[in-house]
Amino acid sequence: MAKTIIVKQIGSPIRRPEKQRQTLIGLGLNKMHKTRELEDTPAVRGMVNKIPHLVTIIEERGE
């Protein structure tokens, strides 16, 4: 099993730029306090780092 991270949405996309909304959708998040378990890849990390005010990493799971 690959390394995974659990990401939680902590901010609302209301009154945010369209790119930030699309990044949330790309991560599979669309409602407040939703969590997703995603594969820990550079692409996912980059998306999380682009919107640190809207999401947080809850947990990192190794192999």
For the chain, list the domains and their CATH numbers.
Answer: 4-61 (3.30.1390.20)
29 Cβ contact partners less than 8 Å away, ≥ 6 residues apart: 7, 9, 36, 55
58 three-state secondary structure: strand
Stated pTM of the model: 0.91
pLDDT tens by residue, 2-61: 899 999 999 999 999 999 999 999 999 999 999 999 999 999 999 999 999 999 999 999
